[in-house]
Amino acid sequence: MTRIVFEWLLIDGAVSYVFYKSIPAFMIFLPGMVLYFRFRCRQRDKSEKSLLSMQFRESILSVSTALNAGYSVENAFIEAYHDMQDMYGEDARITSEYRRITARLRDNEQIEYILKDFAESADIPDISDFAGIFEAAKRIGGDMTRIIRQAASNISDKIEVRREIEVSMSSKITETRIMEAVPFGILVYLQIGSADFLSVLYENTGGRVLMTAALAVYLAGVVIAERILDIEV
């Protein structure tokens, strides 16, 4: 929270100086922190879900290995919990989830209902799909080892596609970030090298209206660019 507030204060200060050279403008833009906070929270949530999805894939592979070794389905998930402890540590989200799964299994709850609750709390399609397939297979008595192995394979394929897209888009993301910074750079450069040339934009109503229009167009471009880069797999 503190970091997000600090980031917005820097952004607010930069915008207010570059486009208006005005302290009142800084105060006017302060409420924009709410929108910026939501944006950063969505980014963080997306990153956390991506990480949890990858960790879940590893946990399902661990479950599959335990099943191949002769463990029951319930004990396989308990073994996977210990593997997650070793792989990611006690503080990892996947470890916490499997700790809850283990505790509920020891209270004799049904694994399919536990996984369903996990899927609802995680709100990740990979986990929801697995929970649904697992519940259906448990009811009809399917080959759980094969089903879990296939689910892990499907999740792995999806994650691999996501990584390939991220790699192919990395240069475009860098270019976009540079383009987003260019308008600020140009204005700062002109203010340093040709302050008299831009002074009219800061000293009368017409100039401020023009700078406001330029800022609106700039922000619209940033929003469009971020949406283009926000690819879901």
Q: Which string of DSSP letters, residue by residue, matches 4-48?
A: HHHHHHHHHHHHIIIII--HHHHHHHGGGHHHHHHHHHHHHHHHH
pLDDT tens across 175-232, in order?
888 888 888 888 888 888 777 777 777 878 888 888 889 889 888 888 888 787 776 6
| Tokens encoding 155 | 């999740």
Of residues 180 and 59, more confidently modeled: 59
In the chain, pLDDT over 90 holds for what percent of residues? 13
Whether 38 shows a pLDDT value over 80: the answer reads yes
Pairwise CA distance, residues 215 & 19, whole Å: 7
DSSP 102-162: HHHHHTT--HHHHHHHHHHHHT-HHHHHHHHHHHHHHHHT--HHHHHHHHHHHHHHHHHHH
Nearest-10 crossing angle of helices 33-68, 111-122: 150
Virtual torsion, Cα 24, 26, 27, 33, nearest 10 deg: 160
Give me the residue spans of the domains in the chain. 50-162
Question: Confidence band (pLDDT; 50, 70, 90) for 233?
Answer: low
pLDDT at residue 226, rounded to an integer: 79
Q: Which residue has the higher pLDDT, 215 or 156?
A: 215
23, 26, 31, 34 alpha-carbon torsion, rounded to 10°: -150
| pTM recorded for the entire structure | 0.76
Dist. CA 140–CA 32, nearest whole Å: 53
